[in-house]
Structure 1
Amino acid sequence: MRTEDEVLDRIDKARRRKPKMREERITAAHGAGGKASQTLVEAVFLDSFRNAVLEPLGDAADVVLGGTRLAMTTDSFVVSPLFFPGGDIGDLAVNGTVNDLAVSGATPGYLSCGFILEEGFPVADLRRIVESMTRAARTANVQLVTGDTKVVGKGSGDGCYINTTGVGFLPPDRALGIHTARPGDAVIVSGPVGDHGITVLLARGELDIEPDRLTSDTAPVHGLCARLLEVPGVRAMRDATRGGVATVLNEVARAADVSVVLDEGAVPVRDEVRGACELLGIDPLYVACEGRFVAVVADAYAEAAVAALRADPLGAEATVIGRIGADPPGTVLLNTAFGGTRIADLLVGDPLPRIC
């Protein structure tokens, strides 16, 4: 079995061999979290900004400042519509940033917030967004401590965009990472998948489908992550946002040079989400969540890990959805309900743009 240093060296060499982008212009697919996004990040940004802290491309960077180990993350939110069942761009911005810190094993502490507002945007809507952010920050026990505001011309900003940066505190001895996944490990999801992406899509009113009580799952998962980390054997946690669970697991397979074998029947999906996905021809595994995460846990502790998650209402439907395998490396396989097996590869296009 390869050592951790050997695995990291293989990842580094593979990324350095990445071809340059073939496209001459940015497309919507470059923001979808799939193959185009991966190429953009690795061929343009990582190629230029490469350093030891950035190299892992985790949900948050692991940095040391004045002897204190910190996690730092940044995100931008351009969801359309701004308000949707179960949430809005405000609590989405806070929860999304908190969750990136939490799944990195950090205790979230501080957030910055930058607003890009379109000329003519209603002040009443801005107040509503700010109040939502305030409630979300209070729930997550974080403080918004600095920010910025810019206004662009009418027709140039689609109402409101929000950028956030989050800082959290990491224990000195905590070591999580998707490259540490090993054959035999359990793959756990913290709850039903796809709620957020489908809720936002239906809220646009472009499809003749009633939401039928479906709401976004946007929520802070810091408490749930803390519960899980009390269990030994946790290898990694990842926030299943853009690209959904399938994209996260492709990242795991590639980083650890393993396979991931999923049981389609074990993946929790609400009937409303499944029905909408079937009508639209979308796989729920690729639909974004905003209050769910994927964890890789040593098999011996899988049962205890699920029990710890289910002890929290937010993780009441947590379950094991698959296992880490050895072959074929870098591949996610899905054992279907019909008895077959198919590859769940990275997405090429963007079936659900502007969902976060």
Structure 2
Amino acid sequence: MKKVVTLAMGNGGIENMELIQKTIQRHLQNEYLTKAEDATPLPPLENPAFTTDSFTISPIFFPGGDIGKLAIAGACNDLAMMGAKPKYLSLSFIIEEGFSLRDLEKIVRSMKKELSINGAWIVTGDTKVVPKGSCDGVYINVSAIGERVISSSQENIAVGDRLLVSGDIARHGAAIFAGREGIELANSIESDCNSLWPIVEELIEADIEIKAMRDATRGGVAAVLNEWAMATNTTMEIEEGRLSIDEGVQGICEILGFEPFVLANEGTFMIVVDQNDAMRAQEILQKHNPHAAIVGEVSDSYPGRVTLQSEWGTKRFLDMPTGEILPRIC
């Protein structure tokens, strides 16, 4: 077999079969993929949730992960935020002619590891090869089905609820920018790219009254908080000093001229819980990331807005991100 992807590997014939079987399927094999039919029959689910996401990140390999890890974690995290255990995923590749087969296999291995963390399966897929110059190496689409264990939704948010963040913020966006631009820092920044279902499952098993969750990806925590505030016509009141930001991330933000609140995360989420469960939720989150914290509460002081109180006692609005922040971070 060749060392790079060729156009013939997308032709539906022998070369295509070899690419799928030898580079992709052998790492992801299971009872569903073995059937290799046009569609995969699935067992019934009591309370299913469905999501889809596409991944075009540049660079494909970055500190803390790669496009494969990101694709599986990203799709599964969207389910986890709705209180759903990830179950069945589809996987579609669009691969540029000339892409390294070794790199493709490395990506697939990352996927296998992340699937194991989530207890999920790839049950169907597709592979296309496009001429050189038609895409940037490889693009991936993942659709995912999960089974809801709890009904996490922004519709549950009420005045008096507490707001928590699961860790320090903006590391993914900062890591991608540094890697893309070749910026060398005294302390390297790694993306927070990780699967969140194990943490969510622990919160559920501890009987934490989870109202809503959202992974703070594009637009960062600012986008999440503003979306919640507008959807519920409430105020998200945040204390700036409770949000942890890595020193290197802060440096990148100064270079970019951005606030860390708008930069992407890929393993950090916001969670709304009943005020009586806030301390227990914080303790559980801190077992996974010591920077997790209660960062604010829901009020009705400025409906539809997010307020940010500084460590000096001043208060300002944290608005929805606008303009081109940092493209191709997922």
* Structures share fold, TM-score greater than 0.5: yes
Name the aligned partner's letter for residue 78 of structure 1. Answer: T
User: What residue in structure 2 maps to residue 16 of structure 1?
Assistant: none
If the length of structure 2 is used for normalisation, what is the TM-score?
Answer: 0.83
Contact map agreement 2:81 2:152 (CA 8 A) in 1:
no
- 1:98 positional shift: 1.1
CA distance in structure 1 between the aligned counterparts of 2:317 and 2:75, rounded to whole angstroms:
31
1:87 paired with 2:65, answer: yes
| Structure 2 unaligned residues grouped into runs of 5+ | 1-42
| Structure 1 unaligned residues grouped into runs of 5+ | 1-64
CA distance in structure 1 between the aligned counterparts of 2:192 and 2:45, rounded to whole angstroms:
36
Structure 1 residue aligned with 2:187, among 212, 215, 229? 212
1:346 paired with 2:320, answer: yes
Question: Root-mean-square deviation (CA), in Å?
Answer: 1.6
Deviations 1:81-121 (A, max 9, x none): 00011100000001111111111101111111100111221
Name the aligned partner's letter for residue 331 of structure 1. Answer: R
- 1:186 positional shift: 0.7
Name the aligned partner's letter for residue 135 of structure 1. Answer: K
CA distance in structure 1 between the aligned counterparts of 2:184 and 2:133, rounded to whole angstroms:
29
User: Against the structure 1 CA distance between its residues 136 and 211, is the aligned structure 2 distance closer, same or farther, given a 3 Å change threshold?
Assistant: farther
Structure 2 SS opposite 1:304: helix
Contact map agreement 1:140 1:222 (CA 8 A) in 2:
yes
1:337 paired with 2:287, answer: no
Structure 1 SS opposite 2:241: helix
Q: Report the structure number with the largest CA radius of gyration.
A: 2
CA distance in structure 1 between the aligned counterparts of 2:116 and 2:156, rounded to whole angstroms:
34
Contact map agreement 1:246 1:345 (CA 8 A) in 2:
yes
Deviations 1:231-259 (A, max 9, x none): 33211111111111110011110111101
User: What residue in structure 2 maps to residue 177 of structure 1?
Assistant: 153
Structure 1 SS opposite 2:102: helix
Task: Give runs of aligned pairs for residues 220-259 of structure 1, distance below 5 A.
Answer: 220-229=195-204, 230-259=206-235
- 1:341 positional shift: 1.5
Contact map agreement 1:203 1:211 (CA 8 A) in 2:
no
User: What residue in structure 1 maps to residue 12 of structure 2?
Assistant: none
1:272 paired with 2:230, answer: no
Name the aligned partner's letter for residue 232 of structure 2. Answer: A
User: What residue in structure 2 maps to residue 261 of structure 1?
Assistant: 237
Structure 1 residue aligned with 2:291, among 290, 296, 317? 317
CA distance in structure 2 between the aligned counterparts of 1:187 and 1:322, rounded to whole angstroms:
5
Name the aligned partner's letter for residue 118 of structure 2. Answer: A
Structure 2 residue aligned with 1:162, among 120, 133, 140? 140
Structure 2 residue aligned with 1:303, among 279, 283, 292? 279
Count of aligned pairs:
287
CA distance in structure 2 between the aligned counterparts of 1:286 and 1:67, rounded to whole angstroms:
36
- 1:344 positional shift: 1.0
Contact map agreement 2:173 2:263 (CA 8 A) in 1:
yes
CA distance in structure 1 between the aligned counterparts of 2:110 and 2:298, rounded to whole angstroms:
39
CA distance in structure 2 between the aligned counterparts of 1:297 and 1:186, rounded to whole angstroms:
5
Identical pairs, percent = 41
